[in-house]
């Protein structure tokens, strides 16, 4: 590969217009390997995973296409390069198996309310509960680190409360008594825009989509600094403005899980994070026998990808299946059609000629 690259004369041709498709593939493959080797990353990082490499290459290819240039990932026949695909496959084989965050049981959310000692902890408990009922991604309700996300963080203007089909103002003292709440997600990673999801009030005083979001909105609206443009993860303490981060939330969730204990939960408190809220919501709905299409609508999944969140290690997943399996042990097969004794196709008989 090194000798091939040395033989290619780029001549300051940043879009490789003067190169053949095969040569462009060699260049992009070399770039992929430099990304893999973390040459553009922080010094403490020695290697990036296959998914990060693939995403980096895809972003470069997107730049080429936006500039009306040939996609450097394609071979002469216009199909994805076999060389690049094998390279990805090799990286993936070398990478350790991804560690999935455990689905979050609602009992952990309950525990968050028992440790509400600061304005930050109050905000975290309500945000986590509110996110749970809408199966939210962390970037939809928290300040997250990393590259800029396509998904927009929710603002107060995105949240509406209804009672007897009438819209309640955020200043209303009766927000917590609303019949249902609607949240509009303006822009999401799956390219869906202005998607509104509605959830009705639950009977629980704490774990209720209406009540927890009413607490969020009311707490923020009390400040003169707030407006409909204020992000939902905002909180105020001693006249200063703060924002709940994904790091704050992860720490709080793990602290709550630690109190409950591994023996009860079946997993270590370090096995959960903000992603556990979304997977926990999917699991809770699935165990409640909510139809698949309803789960997809609430979680805004465009496919059955949410099934990845259904953790087979959860005890309730197989509850009562063994009894149901033996309910019909004496089932009968329909005899197979014996083609040797069956009637011939009349179109092939002498009389049909």
CATH 1.10.443.10 segments of the chain: 106-309
Alpha-carbon dihedral 308, 304, 141, 56, rounded to 10 degrees: 70
For residue 156, pLDDT over 70 is answered with: yes
| DSSP β-ladder status, 159-163 and 166-168 | antiparallel
Contact predicate 80/57, CB 8 Å: no
What pLDDT score was predicted for residue 345? 55
| DSSP-assigned beta bridge partners for residue 243 | 234
Contact of 236 with 162, CB cutoff 8 Å: no
Distance CA(24)–CA(101), nearest Å, equals: 39
pLDDT at 147 over 70: no
> How far apart are the C-alpha atoms of 146 and 3, rounded to whole Å?
36
Superfamily of domain 106-309: Intergrase catalytic core (1.10.443.10)
Q: Which region holds residue 164: left if phi is over 0, alpha if psi is between -120 and 50, else beta?
A: left
**CA 241 to chain CA centroid, nearest Å:** 28
Does the pLDDT of residue 24 top 80, yes or no? yes
Length of the chain: 353
Beta strands in 21-127 (DSSP E): none
Whether the model pTM is above 0.85: no
Can you give the three-state secondary structure of 103-126, one letter per residue? CCCHHHHHHHHHHCCCHHHHHHHH
Coil, helix or strand at residue 161: strand
Alpha-carbon distance 218 to 222, whole Å?
6
Q: What is the pLDDT of residue 42?
A: 78
Instruction: Please compute the mean of the pLDDT values over residues 240-253 and round it to a whole number.
Output: 95
96 pLDDT more than 70: yes
Mean per-residue pLDDT, 58-77: 91
- Tell which residue, 75, 79, 29, 72, has the closest CA to residue 53: 29
Find out whether 124 and 131 touch, Cβ atoms under 8 Å.
no
**Residues 26, 1: contact at Cβ < 8 Å?**
yes
Residue 23 has pLDDT above 80, yes or no: yes
Residue indicated by tokens 């203007």? 157
| Residue-averaged pLDDT of the chain | 85
Residue with token string 């990478």: 95
Give the 3-state secondary structure of residue 327. Answer: coil
Helix (H, G, I), strand (E, B) or coil at 160: strand
Quick one: which H or E segment has residue 180?
A: strand 180-187
pLDDT at 256: 95
Residue, of 148 and 7, whose pLDDT is higher = 148
């Amino acid at each position: 590969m090194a000798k091939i690259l040395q033989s290619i004369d780029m001549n300051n041709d940043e879009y490789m217009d003067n190169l053949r498709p095969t040569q462009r593939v060699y260049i992009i493959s070399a770039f992929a390997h430099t990304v893999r080797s973390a040459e553009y990353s922080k010094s403490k990082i020695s290697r990036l995973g296959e998914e990060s490499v693939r995403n980096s290459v895809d972003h470069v290819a997107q730049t080429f296409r936006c500039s009306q240039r040939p996609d450097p990932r394609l071979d002469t026949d216009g199909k994805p390069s076999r060389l690049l695909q094998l390279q990805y496959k090799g990286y993936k084989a070398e990478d350790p198996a991804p560690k999935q965050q455990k689905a979050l049981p609602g009992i952990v959310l309950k525990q968050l309310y028992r440790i509400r000692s600061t304005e930050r902890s109050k905000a975290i408990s309500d945000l986590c509960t509110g996110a749970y009922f809408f199966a939210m991604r962390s970037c939809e309700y928290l300040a997250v680190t990393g590259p800029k996300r396509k998904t927009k963080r929710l603002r107060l203007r995105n949240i509406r409360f209804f009672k007897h089909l009438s819209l309640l103002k955020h200043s209303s003292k009766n927000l917590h008594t609303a019949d249902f709440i609607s949240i509009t997600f303006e822009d999401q990673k799956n390219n869906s825009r202005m998607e509104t999801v509605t959830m009705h009030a639950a009977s629980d005083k704490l774990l209720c989509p209406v009540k927890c979001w009413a607490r969020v909105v009311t707490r923020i609206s009390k400040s003169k600094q707030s407006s409909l443009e204020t992000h939902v993860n905002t909180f105020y303490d001693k006249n200063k403005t703060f924002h709940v981060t994904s790091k704050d939330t992860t720490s709080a969730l793990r602290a709550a899980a630690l109190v409950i204990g591994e023996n009860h939960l079946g997993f270590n408190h370090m096995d959960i994070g903000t992603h556990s809220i979304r997977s926990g919501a999917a699991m809770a709905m699935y165990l409640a026998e909510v139809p698949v299409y309803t789960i997809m609508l609430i979680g805004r999944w465009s496919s059955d990808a949410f099934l990845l969140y259904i953790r087979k290690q959860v005890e309730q997943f197989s509850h009562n299946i063994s009894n149901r399996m033996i309910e019909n042990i004496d089932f009968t097969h329909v005899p197979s059609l014996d083609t040797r004794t069956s009637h011939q196709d009349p179109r092939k008989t002498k009389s049909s000629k």
